[in-house]
Amino acid sequence: MANFENDAQELLKLIGGSENINAVTHCATRMRFALVNPEQADVEKIEKLASVKGTFTQAGQFQVIVGNQVSELYKEFEKASGIHGGSKEDVKHAAESNQAWWQKAMTFLAEIFAPIIPAIIVGGLILGFRNILEGIGFEALGQQVIEGVKQFTPSGEPIYNRIVDVSQFWSGVNSFLWLPAEAIFHFLPVGITWAVTRKMGTTQILGIVLGITLVSGQLLNAYAAPDAIAAGEVPFWDFGFFKLNMIGYQAQVLPAMFAGLVLSYLEIYWRKVIPEYLSMILVPFLSLLPAVILAHTILGPVGWWIGNLISSVVLAGLTGPLSWLFGAIFGALYSPLVITGLHHMSNAIDAQLIADSATHTTGLWPMIALSNIAQGSAVLAVWWMTRKDEEESQITVPSAISAYLGVTEPAMFGVNLKYMYPFVAAMIGSSVAGLIATTTGVQSNAIGVGGLPGFLVIHTDSMIMFFICMLVALIVPFIMTILFKKIGFMVGSELKFDIPFFNK
């Protein structure tokens, strides 16, 4: 107890004294402070205390990692400071005063995604494993043969068997795992509309129903929409004097978020103006039906328009005279595109490039694989800096693995966007790798598995330069993330991801 008493008194001194504390509480392993002036905290000396395993700042909260005995240190700290702790909500609200307006806006978005992060992490690991089973050809498994004919790429290279081609068991496992993966990612709009209503304090079941209307089996799947639009085969509702396309929004973020916000604001409005004795009948009807109509007439089509616009810009940039500059820009901005769900349009561009180019290759997909690696490396750096924090490792370790296997949503939503500076570091690393890739003309034979296994579909002439780009994507984000932390760049700009599953 004496050690905790001494450390508590020293911690109080190093943190700036009682007058520098707005609120304080603790969770399972950390003490959480909302400080008047965070710069007064002597981080280096605090981390040298015997009871302290590390520190970090998140959403304006200065957090001191102690471990399972945090409650003992906390009791001694209360005695030393004369401050009796509040709840997590008290600290959270007090810490908001340290946030800029843009941080508050980003925090609002973060709190929409926070409840679905555990599902995204699970889905990312599943998709990464499925990528290995069905997306990678191994030379040791032999060349692929269909109806007695050996298979080759358009450039003449042999196509090797995948694990699912030679093992019925793993083929069955791969097929079965698509069940939870589809539920998580294809039906992501359901989770988003639910999360929006949860955040806004409105009726959550209406958000779920709204989300289902965006991914209903009656609608054309979003992944098949580009080809159907090009072929003029999009199904539609015929109202006589006008027609409405029946397009789904599987895995789309913006249409779901916009629709959820419209639904919530409609419900809030109607509850104010409709008498209470009629609210049970009229409020859900007047909120849900207009939201569904707007989602399919305005919000969804606007999302598609933005996606098509981005596709046109990407195609022009990649094939134009300034492709090297485009590589740097696309490398930096691909991850933000993933956040919006508009990155799915890149598959159509890759397919067009493969079909049209003389070598039947694409220079876009390698940059996507490099962006995956960069996000994983930024997470790895966060893990390195917080490796003594068991709670944090529950998120960082699986998120890094998932990103390195080509699925970055867990890394971005679970770690990098939460702290912000790792996300910026990943963008920088991806930008440098993209610049090198386009300058040296790195090409891939097909759309393959992202992340570290991405080299398996790279054209042989580009293999050496792609490995160099991979090293850049591995090293630069890792170093930049640690450097940003040490110099304090964007440290304190963190977003509050309140995930009960992790933040106990």
Q: Which residues are catalytic?
A: 27
Answer positive or negative: Cα dihedral of 112, 426, 40, 83.
Answer: positive
Q: Which two tokens stand for residue 413?
A: 């939503």
Rounded-to-integer distance, Cα 258 and Cα 253, Å = 9
DSSP state at residue 159 = P
Give the ranges where 320-420 is alpha helix by DSSP (H).
323-340, 345-356, 365-385, 390-404, 409-411, 417-419
Count Cβ atoms below 10 Å from residue 474 Cβ, excluding itself: 20
* Alpha-carbon distance values, 318 to 5, 330, 332, 370, 472 (Å): 62, 9, 14, 16, 21
Burial of 280 by CB count in 10 Å (0-12 exposed, 13-18 middle, 19+ buried)? exposed
Q: Which two tokens stand for residue 287?
A: 């909120």
Rounded-to-integer distance, Cα 85 and Cα 73, Å = 13
Count Cβ atoms below 10 Å from residue 254 Cβ, excluding itself: 21
Length of the chain (residues) = 504
Query: Measuring CA to CA, which residue among 213, 214, 217, 211 is closest to residue 194?
Result: 211
Beta strands in 19-84 (DSSP E): 21-26, 30-35, 54-58, 61-65
Rounded-to-integer distance, Cα 438 and Cα 180, Å = 36
Helices 168-185, 117-135: axis angle to 10 degrees equals 150
Helices 365-385, 323-340: axis angle to 10 degrees equals 60
Report phi then psi at 44, rounded to 5: -60, -45
Contacts of 491 by beta carbon, 8 Å cutoff, 6+ apart: 57, 421, 484, 485
Burial of 155 by CB count in 10 Å (0-12 exposed, 13-18 middle, 19+ buried)? middle
3-class secondary-structure state, position 61: strand
| One-letter-per-residue 3-state SS of 312-328 | HHHHHHHHCCCHHHHHH
Rounded-to-integer distance, Cα 369 and Cα 376, Å = 11
Amino acid symbol at 382: V
Q: What is the dihedral of CA 274, 276, 281, 282, to 10 degrees?
A: 10
Helices 117-135, 390-404: axis angle to 10 degrees equals 40
Query: Measuring CA to CA, which residue among 201, 200, 208 is closest to residue 108?
Result: 200
Partners of 236 in the beta sheet?
A: 245
